[in-house]
A and B are shown apart, each in its own frame.
Chain A
Amino acid sequence: SQTIHQWPATLVQPVGSPLSLECTVEGTSNPNLYWYRQAAGRGLQLLFYSVGIGQISSEVPQNLSASRPQDRQFILSSKKLLLSDSGFYLCAWSVDNTIYFGEGSWLTVV
């Protein structure tokens, strides 16, 4: 069966430190992959999506970047975190015209 894993689940980072959130999909090949962010009390905002290795599309300008070094691996990064980067980050993938989400990662920037 197809599954998606996301880690770490919780992260507390100081302002100015780097970030790396990782997402891995199992049980499929060449999936579309997505990074969403959910700020407190809000719906989800699409940050990045990828249709293949090395192919990244950014939806909003910001302090974050994404990379897809392998077919089933999607990484969200930052060189220097800002307080405004705090939030709940969700990796997602699409299959059969449906989008499924990972467990999410809580990021608190202090």
Chain B
Amino acid sequence: AQTVTQSQPEMSVQEAETVTLSCTYDTSESDYYLFWYKQPPSRQMILVIRQEAYKQQNATENRFSVNFQKAAKSFSLKISDSQLGDAAMYFCAYYVEGSNYKLTFGKGTLLTVNP
């Protein structure tokens, strides 16, 4: 079965500091897409960043970047210069190519940003 593990149920970071959220996944497929989503108190699921498994270069989106280690099946999210608005639940997810884009989600990491 395909699974996603987020080993940190909760994390906290000081404003302007850097924090890394961990994610590991388990699939026997070689072609897949990985995602980090952010869910603020409004509950809307917002895409943060995407990584194609066939790309070796780590994806970046402004203050957000990933460390993708395909062999280790690890996909961590780094948030630099943390802002109060980054406080949210963060979900790691992926789908396998050819699966009709069916996402498998981790259980999430609750990030608190301290002023």
Contact = CB atoms under 8 A, between A and B. Distances in A.
A interface bracket (residues with beta carbon within 8 Å of B) = 20 to 34
Contacts of B93: 44
Contacts of A104: 43-45
A42 B102 CA distance: 17
A98 B47 contact: yes
Interface residues of B, number: 23
Contacts of A88: 43
Interface in B29-81: 33, 35, 37, 42-47, 50, 52
Contact of B107 (A34, A42, A51, A97): A42
Given A98-B50, A99-B35, A46 B103 contact: yes
Interface of A: 32, 34, 36, 38, 42-46, 49, 51, 57, 59, 88, 90, 92, 94, 97-104, 106
Given A43-B106, A43-B108, A94 B43 contact: no
